[in-house]
Structure 1
Amino acid sequence: MKDKNLYTMVLFLTGIYTIYVCFGFIQSNKDWQSLIIICLLIAIVDLFPTKLPNGFWYNGATLSFLYIMYSKGISASTVPIIFSTLMFFLSASKPFYKINWFRLFSTLGMYFISMMCAAASLKVLNQFPLIVQILGITFVFDNVNLLIRAGIMKFVNKSPFFSEFALKKVYGVQVSLLVLTILLYHLVQSTNAIDLITEVIIAAFLMLLINFLISAYNKHIYKIEESKQRYQSLFDRNPDIVFTLDLSGKFTSINPMLEKILGYSPESILDVNLFEYVISTGKQEAIHRIEQALLGNPQQFTIGVLTKEGTSRDMFITCGPTVVNDQIVGVYGIAKDITEQKQAEQIIHKMAYFDEITGLPNRSNFQERMAETLEKAGTNNSLAGLMFLDLDKFKHVNDTLGHHTGDLLLFDVSKRIIQSVPEGSIVSRLGGDEFTIIFPNLSHTDEVIPVADEILRALAEPFYLHNRELYITTSIGICIYPEHGNDVETLIKNADASMYRAKESGGNTYSVYSKNIQELNEAKHKIHSNLHKAILREEFYLHFQPKIDLTTDKINGVEALIRWENQELGPMSPVQFIPIAEESGLILPIGEWVLRTACKQNKAWQDAGFPPIVMSVNLSSIQLQNDHLVSTIGQILRETELDPQWLEIEITESMLLQNTQHTMKVLEEIKELGISISIDDFGVGYSSLSYLKHFSFDYLKMDKSFIDNLNMSPKDELIISGIIQLAHSLNMKVIAEGVESSEQLTYLREQGCDCVQGYLISKPLPAGEFIERVWFSEKKDGIVVETE
């Protein structure tokens, strides 16, 4: 609190003058009896102040000051003023020698000025009755005193000049004065009973009138003060930057958050134009928006603003016109810092729509752009082309040189493809070694053939990676809209079929879709035909692959994997028949069979005395979109009498992006059954980051491709570490699949991975072998492993 300022200094000097006046009076005065009595009374009243009936504490010293002034003059009144002030400061200061003399003399000055004003009022009231004179000097003294006190609070504490407290005190003083002046009048002059009653009635009336006036004024001021304080609180304590501009765009006020967010002090930018802080690319937008706000149209927009350090922050501005007396006098606004939010959105968008290795659009991005291309082509009645590329024998590069080299090769391949296609073409990487190219606005069907030749020539040139000379070729499938299909799915399917035709021809060539490629679909038809009878013939069976908890080094789960052996087709990999089952809808009865068989086997193991473990079953996207999935799962659990806590559903990332509203609803219903849910193949092709925060998954299963590159790719190690940290921060556990070496296991354990699965632990086994070779196996390095 800063006591000393011009205002208090004047009071201090007045207090010094009061001492001077008092000394002058002491030298000339011979009658001290009344003054001594008054000072004794002051001492008593100051120690035990009088409390009036209305609850107001009224200091008796005030009456003494006025009495001495009225009877002996202004000079005599300085004696009780000084005595009363000294008593107050002596009792308030402990120890007494630490008296704040500046405040003491300022207080003397305050009382002396109030007394002088009261004395001056006598000259105006000397022709009026005595009660009027007493009422007048008391009123003037106390109210001048209150005004001076309000001034001290204003200049020292920055408090409002007319606070609610001050107004209440004024009201109390007025009421008190009316009672006290009547009593004082009768002490000075005797009156008869009728006069006394008349005066009391008049006093009571005046009290009611003053009470009404003061209360009404007080309520009005209180509302104004409360409104002002609420506004100031909203302004000063808002977590965002709040500002006002004048008609020229200059700041007229701004809250303290400016300094915290942008580094500028509020005082430094007052009367400075807003547009000086807007980055150049956004100035015209900002000018237009502020002009619209000045026209009375509220605005919301995002601009980049320069900080004091010279960096840029993204601010979301909400602004509107400031209206005073029906006139627009400026603009008010709120600026929210959304820099981190935009950066996060960009990261999520990049992960969701662009391939991490090549920077090309990924599968989901490709499908959106392909749909847009077909829509425009249909509207313009034009042609569009699609190429489907698959690198020949790329797996051999990964297996012999490692995935890091494979990633570098993919990056260089993508650059050569981009350089080989005409401007406006859209190159995407679907995943693995598969690329697509969209050709909008073709003039004729053969227009893409020279492009295919150019791509083949570009890729035929050697690649130089890690001082190695590498060669790679590609097989290209081509189809044209609308000749070879009218929708995205058909065109992708036909381009894919054409690509396989080129690969079957030896690779390093292209194939344009034709009717002859229908032959390729005959094999699929055979699979499809036999799938219809596979359940009835009992041709499906399950293999089980264990999961190990790295905390206990014990089995805590097992994944059920479907196998199929057909008399006509022989053993069939799930990779061969699952896509066909999904395409035909047969995945629904097959998936139900897998669920029922897996639950039945898990319950049988428990009944045989083996420790309860979680059985994981993979769901297809077709199953997830089926309206009866949840009821089917519930029915199977009741039939097999398996507790839901021992069942886990695995879904892939891509499934989260298909009919998301329905998907999330189904997953919530599955969770309500008590079943756990994990995300399989995390980190490949799609990104589920935007869904992780909206749904409580139990497990996150890292794709095998990341594990394969451990100790060879620092980038993959960083991704693995990041995935584990991300999952743990969202209260999910992490399962690493495809663990095949002790080095991989050691790294995963160090990074805090929760569970592992892979050939190091055990390959997928039939139920009988699972019991013999896993649960009853030996323990090696603290991990349960399969014994040969």
Structure 2
Amino acid sequence: MSHAPQRHAGDPSVSSPSLRAPASGGSPAQVLRLVLDNMAEGVCVADLDGRIITANPAAEAVFGPLHGVAFDERFGPSFRLDDQITPCPPALRPMTRAIRGDSIERQSLFLDRGAEGTEEEGARPGAWIRVNARPLLETNGRIVGGVLVFRDITHIKATEDRMAYLAQFDALTGLPNRFQFRQRLERAITAARGAGRRLAVLFLDFDRFKEINDSLGHELGDDLLVAIARRIRDALPPSVFVARFGGDEFTALIEDPGEREELAVLAARVQRALADPFPLAGDSYSLSASVGGVLFPDDADAIDDLLRKADMAMQHAKEQGRNALQFYDAAMTAAAAERLAMKAQLAQALERGQFFLHYQPLVEAGSGRPVGVEALLRWRSEAFGLVSPATFIPLTEESGLIVAIGRWVLDTACRQARAWELAGQPPIEIAVNLSPRQLRDPELVEHVRGVLDRSGLDPSRLVLEITEGLLIEDMALSRRVLASLKRLGIRLALDDFGTGYSSLSYLNSLPFDILKMDGSFTRNLTDGQASNTGGQAIARAIIALGQSLNMLLVAEGVETAEQHAWLTRNGCDLVQGYHFGRPAAADDVTGVLQGLALAHSARQIGQSDFVI
């Protein structure tokens, strides 16, 4: 590769034919004028009194016509003042004043032209320019003026402003975001600590918002969040700093909050505001919020501790029944530590063989004949002893362990049901609960198929129970998976019916065979209270619904003969509860089933005095 010899600007051998001898025959000054006219940057030449001598079209486009003189051959090697001058636009005056002092040779400024002048003065309101000033020198070095080079950066400034806004505010609701809330809380803590004042933080989370959001679609869900944010802001005093912390979580900072009773009043105002239906897409939706409260410095004196404990209190409010306010107390930290330790134990419980099953009988309401059992998971931990299912099963859901544990339950229950048959027991159904995570397991159907093949259990003897609230999380998925399970020949039961949010409009489209009425309805049937009339009406309606949909109706939680009799009179098909047998190990429940079968046989042959 050849290289041309390097030459410098002062070298007489260097020539620029296009500038020194333009093809058009123009002078060098005309060529320079042509360059200036085609520059993207605006260029102004100003004298030391701040008057414009000349400007190019880009400058005129930004500031309006400046009426500068033509750039001709009167401008030679050095700058010469000209009598034809125009006043400098207000936005440029600070720069020309800076040039007058020879200590500043170059400067860059952001100038808001909307603040500097009116349109008549040559400024367009709302635009921003970046200006660079360079002194203009005579050959002897004396400053005689300056050259101002500038560019319209309005679009850049707008982008910067938008980025700055998004760093501090939630783009959807317009409320301050998590980052700004933390900043504000940190400043408030510093001020409160120095003045010996208190602060309060409220942490709000909406109950079952995900279910509503999924049913509406995310666009309408966003509209609902905007309406929620507006109601929260309107329900609280202007002095309360409200932020969207993320998702459907909102936080409020109250300075000088007073006593907890005053905070409870504020929380109740928000909850009442949310209880009014939200009109959306031709329908209306009511919401409730669980609220956690924490005080500085009573409960914590650092920002992360305050937020963690406020969240902990909110979670406790949800566990206590939702739509409630719960203030933090030290017992919550102990409970959280225990939950964490319990999760660690659960991770190894299956491997260590700590899980086992109990079985509870299911009988015909009219005849008392045992027709099946429900398999119920139990856990005996080395560290915690026998743990309640209400305590550990939610933890297996949170951790994802429920998928592996659920597979073990299904396999164990089906093998036990088949073992009873091989031992000569009358064939019975075995009911197994499916968790929400199991229903979303892509391998669920194949696993059920494999369990049936390995155990040899007739598919018609297996009942899978699904809780009502699970279905509406993803209706399309529910329909697809349930249909695939039905094709295996098993039966499906809708568990805890009446406690969730299922719509009757699609209940008929799901392939359920059995409707299980939640035990809370059973307990209110014959309790002797005046309110039981309403409870009986609800139970009758659920039984009638099951009959109209050709489903078997199962009543859970039957504990007395009076409840059993009422359910039988009103057409309930199957019953389950302590009245017929508590959950027990396989060997023990075998005896219970045999006793129920004998009692049924005795009634069949008229031995009415036979006692269970």
Question: What is the TM-score normalised by the length of structure 1?
Answer: 0.40
Return the letter of the residue paired with 1:692: L
**Residue of structure 1 in register with 2:555 after alignment:** 736
Q: 1:764 to 1:534 in 2, by over 3 A?
A: same
**Residue of structure 1 in register with 2:36 after alignment:** none
Q: Distance in 2 between matches of 1:719 and 1:502?
A: 25
Q: Distance in 2 between matches of 1:492 and 1:367?
A: 24
Give, in angstroms, the shift of residue 575 of structure 1.
Answer: 0.7
2:576 to 754, 757, 760: 757
Q: Distance in 2 between matches of 1:685 and 1:375?
A: 24
**Residue of structure 1 in register with 2:405 after alignment:** 590
Contact 1:383 1:442 survives alignment (8 Å): no
Q: Distance in 2 between matches of 1:785 and 1:679?
A: 36
Return the letter of the residue paired with 1:588: V
Note if 1:652 corresponds to 2:467: yes
Q: 1:577 to 1:479 in 2, by over 3 A?
A: same
Give, in angstroms, the shift of residue 497 of structure 1.
Answer: 3.7
Q: Distance in 2 between matches of 1:492 and 1:554?
A: 52
Q: 1:757 to 1:376 in 2, by over 3 A?
A: same
Note if 1:523 corresponds to 2:343: no
Q: Distance in 1 between matches of 2:564 and 2:533?
A: 16
Return the letter of the residue paired with 2:423: A
Q: Distance in 2 between matches of 1:525 and 1:452?
A: 30
Aligned length: 355
Q: 1:695 to 1:457 in 2, by over 3 A?
A: closer
Give, in angstroms, the shift of residue 525 of structure 1.
Answer: 1.4
Give, in angstroms, the shift of residue 640 of structure 1.
Answer: 0.8
**Residue of structure 2 in register with 1:680 after alignment:** 495
Return the letter of the residue paired with 1:557: G
Q: Distance in 1 between matches of 2:255 and 2:249?
A: 11
Contact 1:559 1:615 survives alignment (8 Å): yes
Deviations 1:125-169 (A, max 9, x none): xxxxxxxxxxxxxxxxxxxxxxxxxxxxxxxxxxxxxxxxxxxxx
Alignment of 1:574-585 (within 5 A): 574-585=389-400
Q: Distance in 1 between matches of 2:455 and 2:310?
A: 41
Give, in angstroms, the shift of residue 560 of structure 1.
Answer: 0.3
Give, in angstroms, the shift of residue 779 of structure 1.
Answer: 2.1
Q: Distance in 2 between matches of 1:660 and 1:364?
A: 16
Deviations 1:680-718 (A, max 9, x none): 110013234122121231000000110111034111111
Deviations 1:224-268 (A, max 9, x none): xxxxxxxxxxxxxxxxxxxxxxxxxxxxxxxxxxxxxxxxxxxxx
**Residue of structure 2 in register with 1:609 after alignment:** 424
**Residue of structure 2 in register with 1:219 after alignment:** none
Match of 1:677, SS state, is strand
Contact 1:562 1:574 survives alignment (8 Å): yes
Return the letter of the residue paired with 1:511: F
Note if 1:779 corresponds to 2:599: yes
Q: Distance in 2 between matches of 1:714 and 1:610?
A: 41
Q: 1:450 to 1:550 in 2, by over 3 A?
A: closer
Alignment of 1:413-428 (within 5 A): none
Deviations 1:11-67 (A, max 9, x none): xxxxxxxxxxxxxxxxxxxxxxxxxxxxxxxxxxxxxxxxxxxxxxxxxxxxxxxxx
Q: 1:588 to 1:476 in 2, by over 3 A?
A: same
**Residue of structure 1 in register with 2:520 after alignment:** 705
Deviations 1:71-126 (A, max 9, x none): xxxxxxxxxxxxxxxxxxxxxxxxxxxxxxxxxxxxxxxxxxxxxxxxxxxxxxxx
Contact 2:312 2:328 survives alignment (8 Å): no
Match of 2:506, SS state, is helix
Contact 2:313 2:326 survives alignment (8 Å): no
2:265 to 421, 444, 454: 454
Give, in angstroms, the shift of residue 496 of structure 1.
Answer: 3.8
Match of 1:779, SS state, is helix
Q: 1:749 to 1:509 in 2, by over 3 A?
A: closer
Q: Distance in 1 between matches of 2:435 and 2:609?
A: 30
Match of 1:701, SS state, is strand
Q: Distance in 1 between matches of 2:403 and 2:310?
A: 24
Give, in angstroms, the shift of residue 493 of structure 1.
Answer: 6.5
Note if 1:768 corresponds to 2:584: no
Contact 2:359 2:586 survives alignment (8 Å): yes
Bigger-Rg structure (1/2) = 1
2:353 to 538, 552, 556: 538
1:690 to 498, 505, 523: 505
RMSD: 4.6
1:746 to 554, 565, 574: 565
Q: Distance in 1 between matches of 2:311 and 2:430?
A: 34
Contact 1:735 1:756 survives alignment (8 Å): yes
Give, in angstroms, the shift of residue 743 of structure 1.
Answer: 1.0
Match of 2:327, SS state, is strand
- Among the aligned pairs, what percent are the same residue? 34
Which has the larger share of helix? 1
Give, in angstroms, the shift of residue 549 of structure 1.
Answer: 1.3
Q: Distance in 2 between matches of 1:633 and 1:667?
A: 12
Contact 2:546 2:553 survives alignment (8 Å): yes
Return the letter of the residue paired with 1:681: D
Q: 1:569 to 1:659 in 2, by over 3 A?
A: same
Give, in angstroms, the shift of residue 366 of structure 1.
Answer: 8.3
Return the letter of the residue paired with 2:443: H
Q: Distance in 1 between matches of 2:609 and 2:220?
A: 52
Alignment of 1:133-172 (within 5 A): none
Q: Distance in 1 between matches of 2:611 and 2:237?
A: 58
Q: 1:567 to 1:674 in 2, by over 3 A?
A: same
Return the letter of the residue paired with 1:603: R
Return the letter of the residue paired with 1:738: G
Q: Distance in 2 between matches of 1:440 and 1:601?
A: 49
Give, in angstroms, the shift of residue 444 of structure 1.
Answer: 5.0
Note if 1:626 corresponds to 2:441: yes
Contact 2:471 2:502 survives alignment (8 Å): no
Q: 1:501 to 1:665 in 2, by over 3 A?
A: closer
Return the letter of the residue paired with 2:404: P
Match of 2:584, SS state, is coil
Q: 1:363 to 1:453 in 2, by over 3 A?
A: closer
Give, in angstroms, the shift of residue 753 of structure 1.
Answer: 0.5
Give, in angstroms, the shift of residue 772 of structure 1.
Answer: 1.7
Alignment of 1:261-340 (within 5 A): none
Contact 2:363 2:370 survives alignment (8 Å): yes
**Residue of structure 2 in register with 1:573 after alignment:** 388
2:327 to 511, 519, 544: 511
**Structure having greater relative contact order (Cα 8 Å, sep ≥ 6):** 2
Match of 2:495, SS state, is strand
1:636 to 451, 454, 464: 451
- Is there any run of 5+ residues in structure 1 with no aligned partner, and where? 1-361, 387-420, 425-437, 459-474
Give, in angstroms, the shift of residue 364 of structure 1.
Answer: 4.0
**Residue of structure 1 in register with 2:542 after alignment:** 723
Give, in angstroms, the shift of residue 557 of structure 1.
Answer: 1.3
Alignment of 1:194-213 (within 5 A): none
Q: Distance in 1 between matches of 2:327 and 2:432?
A: 38
**Residue of structure 2 in register with 1:391 after alignment:** none
Give, in angstroms, the shift of residue 776 of structure 1.
Answer: 3.5
Give, in angstroms, the shift of residue 477 of structure 1.
Answer: 2.8
Q: Distance in 1 between matches of 2:385 and 2:456?
A: 34
Contact 1:484 1:494 survives alignment (8 Å): no
Q: Distance in 2 between matches of 1:614 and 1:644?
A: 10
Return the letter of the residue paired with 1:669: S
Q: Distance in 2 between matches of 1:445 and 1:374?
A: 32
Q: Distance in 2 between matches of 1:675 and 1:492?
A: 46
Match of 2:470, SS state, is helix
Q: Distance in 2 between matches of 1:760 and 1:381?
A: 47
Give, in angstroms, the shift of residue 550 of structure 1.
Answer: 2.4
Question: What is the TM-score normalised by the length of structure 2?
Answer: 0.50
Q: 1:375 to 1:442 in 2, by over 3 A?
A: farther
Return the letter of the residue paired with 1:757: Q
